[in-house]
Amino acid sequence: MRITRRKLIDLAHREAHRRADEEDVVSAYLIGSVVGGDPLLGGTADIDLILVHENPPETAREVVPLSEDVHLDIAHHDRAVYSEPRNLRTSPWLGPALYDPLFILDPAHFLEWAQASARSQFNRPDYRVARAASLLGHARRSLDRLNGQHSFAWMAEYTRAVMDGANTVVLLAGPPAAGRRFVLTLKHLTAEAGHPDVFESFLRLIGAESTDGWDLPDWISAWSRAFEQSSPDSNDPRLAACRLRYHLSGFEALQQIGWPQAVVWTLLSTWHLAVAASAVQPSGGGARRSEWEDFLERLDLGEASAEHRTRELEAFLDGVEEHLDLWARDHGA
């Protein structure tokens, strides 16, 4: 199957209408690279589909493979989330998503109504600041949970705080960065926001300011082994089997265009999921954990570095807050 943007949209239409016939789906829309930009990276793509349900959905996210190279990444939302659309103006993720999506199912014009209200004055400086401040608050709460215990949970909170902190500045210029191209997009958007220094700080926080001595092929191989071991028994959609090829093809493409840092970010933000899942399986995950810990040590993110990395993260978030305050003053927010 030749993958085109039109084909991906058609596949999303088909899935949304099938769900509407079989479930309580009232609206559906697309976000992500299928809506704007090039959905393909390394010949593979995911389709970011939002399904809005009449009642609270049983699951928040699922991944549905459609072919070897394409899968649906479905987020399930309760209709009640959209009942106060003005509040979405200050939501750092859902607000930008609803601002410029591709509607594919909205028979009662429910989403159309919610979007119209949410978009009103969406780009006013005070709303931009409110969205950024909300995301910075998320980052600080993650920071607070870094209580000195270096574990799978520590790395999850650390990477989340780093991502949210960097995206705080991005939100002053547009939607937050995400996905396989996160690092590339972050570099572009922080520069557009007038703060390229935030990107440099981001690289330092993930140990990617220098690529000297990196053994990326070995790291990718070890990550793949952990992913393959954990995927069959995991209920985490981020570890769905189809995501392995999706990531590997992305890694290859990112290396070809000279962005190994983007590969390392994905390894860092996903590897701990696989190792944690393997650790609770009957076969255990000792060897996989050892490879993961070696990777962290190379990035100066191992257990011995947890305390000073936490301090660096706190200083980074303090700096982001200063940027935010200055922007607010300059724009009358």
Contact between 9 and 49 under an 8 Å Cβ cutoff? The reply is: no
Confidence at residue 289, expressed as pLDDT on a 0 to 100 scale: 87
Q: Between β-strands 102-105 and 61-65, what pairing exists: parallel, antiparallel or unpaired?
A: unpaired
pTM higher than 0.85, yes or no? yes
* Cα distance between residue 176 and residue 202, in whole Å: 15
Final residue belonging to a domain, choices 119, 135, 158: 119
Q: Between β-strands 25-31 and 70-78, what pairing exists: parallel, antiparallel or unpaired?
A: unpaired
Q: Between β-strands 70-78 and 102-105, what pairing exists: parallel, antiparallel or unpaired?
A: unpaired
Per-residue tokens: 211: 């690529």
Residue 81: DSSP 8-state: G
Structural domains of the chain, count? 2
The residue among 186, 227, 200, 206 whose CA lies nearest residue 295 is: 206
Q: How many CB atoms lie within 10 A of CB 307?
A: 12
- Indicate whether 67 and 188 sit together in one domain: no
- Is 105 contained in some domain? yes
- Indicate whether 105 and 138 sit together in one domain: no
- Indicate whether 93 and 143 sit together in one domain: no
- Indicate whether 81 and 132 sit together in one domain: no
The alpha helices in the chain, defined as continuous H runs, are 5-22, 94-99, 110-119, 125-144, 152-170, 182-192, 196-205, 216-230, 242-256, 260-279, 286-298, 306-330
- Indicate whether 167 and 269 sit together in one domain: yes
Final residue belonging to a domain, choices 92, 119, 146: 119
Q: How many CB atoms lie within 10 A of CB 22?
A: 8
- Domain interval for residue 57: 5-119
C-alpha torsion 128→129→131→133, nearest 10: 160
| pLDDT tens track, the chain, 333 positions | 689 999 999 999 999 999 999 999 999 999 999 998 789 999 999 999 999 999 999 999 999 999 999 999 999 999 999 998 889 999 999 999 999 999 999 999 999 999 999 999 999 999 999 999 999 999 999 999 997 667 788 999 999 999 999 999 999 999 999 999 999 999 999 998 889 999 999 999 999 999 998 999 999 999 999 999 999 989 999 999 999 999 999 999 999 999 999 999 999 999 999 998 887 655 555 667 899 999 999 999 999 999 999 999 999 999 999 999 999 999 997
Confidence at residue 314, expressed as pLDDT on a 0 to 100 scale: 97
CATH number at residue 89: 3.30.460.10
* Cα distance between residue 90 and residue 184, in whole Å: 25
Per-residue tokens: 129: 């600041």
- Indicate whether 54 and 143 sit together in one domain: no
- Indicate whether 133 and 225 sit together in one domain: yes
